[in-house]
Structure 1
């Protein structure tokens, strides 16, 4: 959530900062602002709502200058409004901030007692006042920032300007992502890579407790104690075009259709078919260590948690190891049992999810080994893990996750196979057969996408429903949860996912002629029981939408609509059946006219707890 962009160099800062903020819109926001040095002093423009409102202000009251910072805010402290939008100014200091300052009330009271006057309801404004207070004492911008941040408790990524030092930009982070972009005669800072990709691919990732002072030609990295640091840029292989719509109406639809390619990239170089084995290049845990693990904890939030639930089925079936799956925001508060023989798997698209990062530190603090599955190279979770499985899905802009989710599922299959081979529960031949099916998976997804038009027709029939029920058994139950979440996220229709066998223990009371029920029906050992559940729905006049890989008369006799998808091994069926879940939600949302890529109240990367 929230976006930071900063620029210093020879070009005009305002258009560069605005372009960067535009590329961060997917993170979710409710106001925006920009500050630049203009004729020797700092000019600030802010607006509630979308960036177009800020751009209108800049057309009416333009700003110039070759040093600037900008921000898109998602409200935490203080309502969405122009007065609470960033940047905030106190004295000579201007700041933009992501995160939460936990002790801001105590600091505000102290500063008020010292005569400071506040103009907003935010915790961020505290930082500007603290830095200004220290700057008046020491007269050095960087030293004042260090001193101020030592007083702050909580999480932050900050970028700051000082009116008395117009050739510098200062940034620092603790618990919230911040990336430095290194150019030729110009430098950048942002809260995520896409904001800078059109200008540079040389990126430096700040660690917690680190700070950087920018000039056009130099980057000086230090700790908050002032100790100098050497940081090496990393070349990012994404291209700016990978973050563009490419002719699709929405980023979400583009990313749904990118899934075959994304899965191929997740699989690339990792399946050793001739050896019947899996190679995970960055796992960094040897076979003996993996073999010694007697329990796996999977920790994640939202869509990634649903992937983790599928991972439980996979690891327990293929590796015969007990698996617990926790919502990250609950994991550390239940005082989980973690030993040196516990492997904790963190799943996060961004690698910056605050609750998941806290779960990682909880597991490591108890002496356990930690592996992460994420999409963003060198993200905080990836860096702090003992090993990582990158999904290589490329940037995902739509807030509702699609290709990031299905590539997480593919990564979990690879991980479960690797664990099974190491533990001796998955033999060479069975791993080879599963590997052959994985290689076919991108083509199966292409076949699933061919049902797009049929799904759109079903969407037209049910776009005005007020509620949906999604049912699945076994490894399809998490996909039912994910389907319901997708519909809620982007269409704002209430939806619930349930194990199909649990329907008669409560949800059946909701069924009438107005309730669409989406039923996941793979051709496996649960098929007869799921058809029985469909009959229960039909007996109460519910509308059944069956999604299946085997279309026969028994299915058609018990469903109002049948959507058929290609068959594949049961371990991989959750990946294939995720596609119709995504397309159904997408088409209903489009028909209802909602903001598909940036649904209300949601943020792409939740970097506060």
Structure 2
């Protein structure tokens, strides 16, 4: 996850910006930079690689400004070069940015048509140029920023610094987190409160859609409609921890809310946003065209990610997939063809059964791919292809953001495999990648269902059994939903393929049984509706997760219908994970369980 910091100060800010960026190093990055205002002119220093490189630059070329912004970047648009490092700047504006601006290609064309030259491959640069054009038309900085924000599509956070304005930063949040800190005659911005801990313990967290005008002695916050809003000031207790809960009650909830940002970063590792194509990074250049079969194995939530991946690989690439739970795979003595590929998925990269399965495949001549969140882990070290998920540290035992990042990686790989194997055309690839680019925005919209889900969870906390149903790629989401509910609320839950309802589970249905149906409006939706009708006929209480078209077409009375954004079917499993996670989380909160550390469970299972 990229890191943003900003200071409107009374003493030189560059050393403190660097210190704040160091506190954000745990989020991961590949370049860094700062910009300050000196004699009302923008100055900046940037460097590829670790912060020590930027620190050396600042030692050689000190910046003395009293106001500035800083950034650590994970490359999405454009390679991790100094040119593409943030802050991006024109003669009038400097900008740092987390997230994805979906419509940056159209905005680049608008900027070029206005006679301006773009210097980088990034989406971020368009923000600086759009604001500069607005300033040239006579708008003041606040109005220019507001006009530009209205043009942007996607999920992002921004901090904006202006030439000639030594008492003004603009901050904006749409998806990615951003906090404002209050000091003594100074104000601060940070992606995390932990970045601001040395400066203040008074924090306001911007809500989704907010933007703020930050000055040394004041801040004005506006909501997504431009109406001035009051946001509470929290007292942050500094600690030596490298991560904190922010304004969330539990790490799990914070990690659910981080998904728009971390999915964007993971996607950026595997996709060329400008060309709308899959571009596998160094160390992950798998030759899918030469494969006859793919073997995949994992445990728990990672196995359900693999199950979704099986649908993607077989549908998009016509690549047959053998899939097994790792604890079974290692003892099944699976016959493996020569020179095959085996793919293993693990958040920690240390899961004992998954590692044992990997070593079995290695002994039988297989090439090994590892989808892991810890690139220094044992599974990563023993793999031929390292496929990182850029989720950042996941503290909650129940996996959330690691799951959606695993899915994002699998989707990118499946699209790339489909293109390599000739099953997807260039146009197909562009359409699928464009759909993937829109995922962070859809995830942000799905998070807005939280209030509805919290009310629904209060009802679920009173029951003893819950059934989850789904078809196609929604079937693994039903399994994952049931697992999440069991893990953290201790309510018995089962996930089934909806077509299996008549083969046993229907015997459980009565007026006390909630049935959660994951059913985006896709080619199997009508089949799922017929299963819902069977549930309704027996008095079951249906909770439907669908989109507007699905809600109109369901023709079944429900206890509650949660309406998600409309989206291509390929990306639905990633976005629909959000309400499934929130439902389990809030049910567990009502049950009074230890959400982050549920009983009998460990984050990483390193013994058999």
TM-score, length-scaled by structure 2: 0.59
Q: Is the 8 A contact 2:551 2:563 kept in 1?
A: no
Q: Is the 8 A contact 1:282 1:387 kept in 2?
A: no
Runs ≥4 in structure 1, deviation > 3 angstroms? 239-242, 273-276, 282-287, 551-554
* Aligned twin of 1:583: 582
* CA displacement at 1:279 relative to structure 2: 1.6
Q: Is the 8 A contact 2:263 2:440 kept in 1?
A: yes
Matches within 5 A, 1:135-146: none
Q: Is the 8 A contact 2:250 2:596 kept in 1?
A: yes
Q: Deviations over 1:531-568 (max 9, x none)?
A: 11111001100100000012544436332210000121
**Judging changes above 3 Å, is the alpha-carbon distance between structure 1 residues 420 and 526 closer, same or farther for their aligned structure 2 residues?**
same
Cα distance in structure 1, aligned partners of 2:507 and 2:398: 30
Q: Deviations over 1:152-177 (max 9, x none)?
A: xxxxxxxxxxxxxxxxxxxxxxxxxx
Q: Is the 8 A contact 1:556 1:562 kept in 2?
A: no
Cα distance in structure 2, aligned partners of 1:313 and 1:540: 32
Matched, 1:524 2:522: yes
**Judging changes above 3 Å, is the alpha-carbon distance between structure 1 residues 607 and 467 closer, same or farther for their aligned structure 2 residues?**
same
TM-score, length-scaled by structure 1: 0.59
* Aligned twin of 1:373: 371
Cα distance in structure 2, aligned partners of 1:434 and 1:242: 36
Cα distance in structure 2, aligned partners of 1:600 and 1:301: 19
Gaps of at least 5 residues in structure 1 are 1-22, 24-197, 199-238
* CA displacement at 1:523 relative to structure 2: 0.6
**Judging changes above 3 Å, is the alpha-carbon distance between structure 1 residues 344 and 244 closer, same or farther for their aligned structure 2 residues?**
same
SS in 2 for 1:474: coil
Matches within 5 A, 1:275-424: 275-285=275-285, 287=287, 290-424=288-422
* Aligned twin of 2:265: 265
* CA displacement at 1:277 relative to structure 2: 2.8
Q: Is the 8 A contact 1:280 1:389 kept in 2?
A: no
* CA displacement at 1:270 relative to structure 2: 2.6
* CA displacement at 1:488 relative to structure 2: 0.1
Q: Is the 8 A contact 1:276 1:429 kept in 2?
A: no
SS in 1 for 2:289: helix
SS in 2 for 1:268: helix
Cα distance in structure 2, aligned partners of 1:339 and 1:590: 48
Q: Deviations over 1:174-229 (max 9, x none)?
A: xxxxxxxxxxxxxxxxxxxxxxxx9xxxxxxxxxxxxxxxxxxxxxxxxxxxxxxx
* CA displacement at 1:428 relative to structure 2: 1.2
**Judging changes above 3 Å, is the alpha-carbon distance between structure 1 residues 519 and 578 closer, same or farther for their aligned structure 2 residues?**
same
* Aligned twin of 1:243: 243
* Aligned twin of 1:506: 504
* CA displacement at 1:263 relative to structure 2: 0.3
Q: Is the 8 A contact 1:276 1:428 kept in 2?
A: no
* CA displacement at 1:241 relative to structure 2: 6.4
RMSD of aligned Cα (Å): 1.8
Query: Which segment is superposed worse, 489-498 or 329-338?
Result: 329-338
* Aligned twin of 1:607: 606
Q: Which has the larger radius of gyration?
A: 1
Cα distance in structure 2, aligned partners of 1:447 and 1:579: 10
* CA displacement at 1:301 relative to structure 2: 0.1
* Aligned twin of 1:256: 256
* CA displacement at 1:269 relative to structure 2: 4.3
**Judging changes above 3 Å, is the alpha-carbon distance between structure 1 residues 371 and 301 closer, same or farther for their aligned structure 2 residues?**
same
Q: Is the 8 A contact 1:266 1:407 kept in 2?
A: yes
Cα distance in structure 1, aligned partners of 2:579 and 2:597: 21
* CA displacement at 1:429 relative to structure 2: 1.1
Aligned residues: 371
* Aligned twin of 1:541: 539
Matches within 5 A, 1:12-161: none
Q: Deviations over 1:516-537 (max 9, x none)?
A: 0000111111111111111100
* Aligned twin of 2:565: 566
* Aligned twin of 1:47: none
Cα distance in structure 2, aligned partners of 1:426 and 1:240: 49
* CA displacement at 1:275 relative to structure 2: 4.4
Gaps of at least 5 residues in structure 2 are 1-25, 27-196, 198-238
* Aligned twin of 2:556: 557
Match of 1:457 among 455, 458, 481: 455
**Judging changes above 3 Å, is the alpha-carbon distance between structure 1 residues 240 and 414 closer, same or farther for their aligned structure 2 residues?**
farther
Q: Is the 8 A contact 2:286 2:385 kept in 1?
A: no
Cα distance in structure 2, aligned partners of 1:258 and 1:545: 25
Q: Deviations over 1:73-94 (max 9, x none)?
A: xxxxxxxxxxxxxxxxxxxxxx
